[in-house]
C-alpha cells in the first residue's frame, strides 16, 4: 500500500503525465455520458426487449463493445466496431492491391492517406448498419408494446445520428491517443468491457448464493479459475523466444566495438489481440445481414453464427483467429528488415550466414512459434463457450477468456507500460518492484 501511494504521488508530480491522465478521464466520461443519450423519438421505458436480446449470444458481445450503448438505443449504439471493420479491409488491401502497398511505403504521408480512406469506408459501413439496427430496434420495441416512427425522414435522420455518434467515438479515441494515455480506440473498447464487469460479477454471485448447497464454494472456484485464465492470458501476451545474436569486433582508433552477444526477443504472439478483434468484427456481419433478410433459410443460417456458444460459431471463430494471427504477424514482423539491420551492425546469428539465410531462419522460427501461439489464442478466445456450458452466467462467462479478457489484459498492460515509461524517464521508480512491465509489443499500439 505504501508503494502504491508513493507511485500515485510520483505520477501526480509529473505535469505532462498528470495532464494526460486527466484528459483521458475527461474523454472517457464524455463517452460514458453519450452511451445513455437515447435516439430522438424512442421511448426509453420500452427498451426492455432490446436489453433482453443483448443479455446473451453475439448481441451481448456487441453491446459489451459499445459499453451498453447498443441496448440503450443510444446515439453511440453502433460503437467503434465499424471503424475496426474498415481498418481490417484497408489492411487486407495493403496485401492485395499495389496502390495501397505503395501508399504504405510512403511513410507518414501514406499513413495519413490510409487513415482517410479508413474513415470514408467507416462512414459507408455505418450507413449500412444504421438501417439494420433500426429494423432490429423496431422488432424489439413491438415486443414491448411500443412502436418506432416509420417515416422515411426518421430513418434517414436516425441513421445519420448513429453514424455521427460512431464517428464522434472514433474522434474521442484519436484524442485519447494524441493527448491522453494509451491507444484511444483500444481504451474505448476497454471502458465498455470494464463497465459490464461489476454487474456480471454481482449477478453471478446472486445466482450462486441462491443455489442449495455449495453455491458460494462454486463461486469462489469460478473466481480462482478466472484468475488462472488471466495469468495464462498475460503469459500469452508477454511470452517471447530469444534468438542469440553475436556482434563482430570492430576497432575504430583506440576503441573496440562489438564482440558481445545479445538476444532478439521474438514474441510468441506477435499479433497481440488483433487476430481476435479482426475475427470478432467479421463474426458481427451476420447481425447486419439478419436485419435486411426476410428469408427463413438465410435467417436460420445466420442464426447458427449468431449463437456464440454453438459449435459452428466457435469452430469458424477459432480457425479465423489462427489465420489472422499468421496474417497480422506477417504485417508486423519483417524478417528481411531484421536481417539487414543485423548485417549493417556487424551482427549475425551463430551458425547462420548473414543476409538472406538469416531472413529465412527468422521467418522459419516465427512460423514455428506462431502456430502454438495462435492455437493457444484460439483456445482462450472460445473459453467463454465452455464456461457457459458449465453453467456460468452468460454475462460473467464472457470474462473467462475470449475477446473481452484478452483486450482487457493487453490494453491494461500497454497503458501501464506507458505510465511507467513516463516515470522512468524522469528518474522515478517504476510501477513494479520485480521489474519493468512488458506490453504486447513494446509499445501501446493495437490499431
* Helices 184-209 + 57-65 axis angle, to 10: 130
The predicted model gives 288-309 an average pLDDT of 62
The whole-number pLDDT of residue 248 equals 64
Most confident range, picked from 112-121, 263-272, 349-358: 112-121
**What is the Cα 50 distance to its own chain's centre?**
25
The whole-number pLDDT of residue 160 equals 93
Q: What angle do CA 274, 312, 440 make, to 5 degrees?
A: 15
* Residues near 120 by beta carbon (within 8 Å), at least 6 away in sequence: none
Is the pLDDT at 205 greater than 70? The verdict is yes
Q: What is the DSSP letter of 251?
A: E
Is the pLDDT at 319 greater than 60? The verdict is yes
Q: What is the largest CA-CA distance in the chain?
A: 88
Q: Cell for 231?
A: 495469468
Residues forming CATH 1.10.3370.10 domain(s) in the chain? 19-180, 197-447
Q: Which class does domain 19-180 fall in?
A: mainly alpha
Q: What is the DSSP letter of 217?
A: H
Is the pLDDT at 291 greater than 70? The verdict is no
Name the pLDDT band for 438 (thresholds 50, 70, 90): low
Dist. CA 6–CA 71, nearest whole Å: 41
* Residues near 402 by beta carbon (within 8 Å), at least 6 away in sequence: 276, 380, 381, 382, 383, 384
The whole-number pLDDT of residue 164 equals 92
The whole-number pLDDT of residue 345 equals 77
The whole-number pLDDT of residue 446 equals 45
The predicted model gives 2-13 an average pLDDT of 75
Is the pLDDT at 26 greater than 90? The verdict is yes
> Per mean pLDDT, which range of 106-120, 200-214, 285-299 is the poorest?
285-299
Name the pLDDT band for 441 (thresholds 50, 70, 90): very low
The predicted model gives 396-409 an average pLDDT of 75
> Per mean pLDDT, which range of 81-90, 152-161, 250-259 is the poorest?
250-259
Is the pLDDT at 168 greater than 90? The verdict is yes
Average pLDDT of every residue of the chain? 78
Half-sphere exposure of 382 (CA within 13 A, CB side): 21
Please state which of the four CATH numbers 1.20.58.340, 1.10.3370.10, 2.40.30.10, 1.10.287.3510 is assigned to the domain occupying 197-447.
1.10.3370.10
The whole-number pLDDT of residue 162 equals 92
In terms of Cβ atoms closer than 10 Å to its own Cβ (0-12, 13-18, 19+), residue 371 is middle
In terms of Cβ atoms closer than 10 Å to its own Cβ (0-12, 13-18, 19+), residue 204 is buried
Amino acid at each position: 500500500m505504501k508503494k502504491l501511494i508513493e507511485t500515485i504521488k510520483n505520477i501526480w508530480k509529473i505535469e505532462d503525465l498528470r495532464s494526460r491522465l486527466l484528459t483521458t478521464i475527461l474523454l472517457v466520461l464524455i463517452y460514458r455520458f453519450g452511451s445513455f443519450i437515447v435516439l430522438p423519438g424512442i421511448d426509453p421505458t420500452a427498451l426492455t426487449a432490446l436489453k433482453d436480446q443483448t443479455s446473451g449470444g453475439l448481441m451481448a458481445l456487441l453491446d459489451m463493445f459499445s459499453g451498453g450503448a447498443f441496448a440503450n438505443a443510444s446515439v453511440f449504439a453502433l460503437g467503434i466496431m465499424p471503424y475496426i471493420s474498415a481498418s481490417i479491409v484497408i489492411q487486407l488491401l495493403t496485401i492485395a492491391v499495389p496502390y495501397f502497398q505503395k501508399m504504405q511505403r510512403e511513410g507518414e504521408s501514406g499513413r495519413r492517406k490510409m487513415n482517410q480512406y479508413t474513415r470514408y469506408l467507416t462512414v459507408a459501413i455505418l450507413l449500412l448498419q444504421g438501417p439494420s439496427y433500426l429494423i432490429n430496434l423496431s422488432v424489439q420495441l413491438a415486443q414491448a408494446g411500443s412502436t418506432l416512427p416509420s417515416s422515411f425522414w426518421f430513418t434517414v435522420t436516425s441513421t445519420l445520428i448513429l453514424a455521427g455518434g460512431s464517428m464522434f467515438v472514433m474522434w474521442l479515441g484519436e484524442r485519447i491517443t494524441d493527448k491522453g494515455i494509451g491507444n484511444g480506440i483500444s481504451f474505448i473498447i476497454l471502458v465498455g468491457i470494464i463497465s459490464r464487469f461489476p454487474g456480471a460479477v454481482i449477478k453471478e454471485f446472486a445466482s450462486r448464493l441462491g443455489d442449495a448447497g455449495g453455491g458460494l464454494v462454486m463461486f469462489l472456484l469460478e473466481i480462482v479459475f478466472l484468475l488462472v485464465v488471466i495469468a495464462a492470458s498475460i503469459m500469452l501476451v508477454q511470452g517471447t523466444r530469444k534468438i542469440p545474436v553475436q556482434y563482430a569486433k570492430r576497432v575504430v582508433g583506440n576503441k573496440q566495438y562489438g564482440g558481445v552477444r545479445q538476444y532478439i526477443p521474438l514474441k510468441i504472439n506477435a499479433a497481440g489481440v488483433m487476430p481476435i478483434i479482426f475475427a470478432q468484427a467479421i463474426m458481427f456481419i451476420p447481425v447486419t445481414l439478419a436485419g435486411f433478410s426476410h428469408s427463413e433459410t438465410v435467417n436460420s443460417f445466420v442464426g447458427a453464427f449468431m449463437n456464440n456458444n454453438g459449435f459452428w460459431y466457435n469452430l469458424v471463430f477459432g480457425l479465423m483467429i489462427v489465420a489472422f494471427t499468421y496474417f497480422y504477424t506477417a504485417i508486423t514482423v519483417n524478417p528481411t528488415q531484421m536481417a539487414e539491420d543485423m548485417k549493417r551492425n556487424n551482427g549475425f546469428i551463430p551458425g547462420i550466414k548473414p543476409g538472406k539465410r538469416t531472413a529465412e531462419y527468422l521467418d522459419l522460427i516465427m512460423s514455428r512459434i506462431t502456430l502454438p501461439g495462435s492455437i493457444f489464442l484460439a483456445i482462450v478466445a472460445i473459453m467463454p463457450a465452455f464456461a457457459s456450458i458449465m453453467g456460468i452466467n452468460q454475462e460473467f462467462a464472457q470474462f473467462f477468456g475470449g475477446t473481452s479478457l484478452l483486450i482487457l489484459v493487453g490494453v491494461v498492460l500497454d497503458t501501464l507500460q506507458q505510465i511507467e515509461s513516463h516515470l522512468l524517464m524522469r528518474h522515478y521508480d517504476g510501477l513494479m518492484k520485480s521489474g519493468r512491465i512488458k506490453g504486447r509489443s513494446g509499445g501501446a499500439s493495437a490499431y
